[in-house]
Amino acid sequence: MPTYHIEMMEGRTVEQKKKLVEEITRVSVEILGGSPESVDILITDVKRENWATGGKLWLERTS
Contacts of 6 (CB under 8 A, 6+ apart): 20, 41, 42, 43, 44
47, 57 in Cβ contact below 8 A?
no
42 is a site residue for a second copy (CB under 8 A)? yes
> Any catalytic annotation for residue 36?
no
10 is a site residue for a second copy (CB under 8 A)? no
60 is a site residue for a second copy (CB under 8 A)? yes
- d(C-alpha 49, C-alpha 2), whole Å: 30
Q: Which residues are catalytic?
A: 2
The residue ranges that bind a second copy (CB under 8 A) are: 1-9, 12, 14, 16-28, 30-32, 35-37, 39-46, 49-57, 59-60
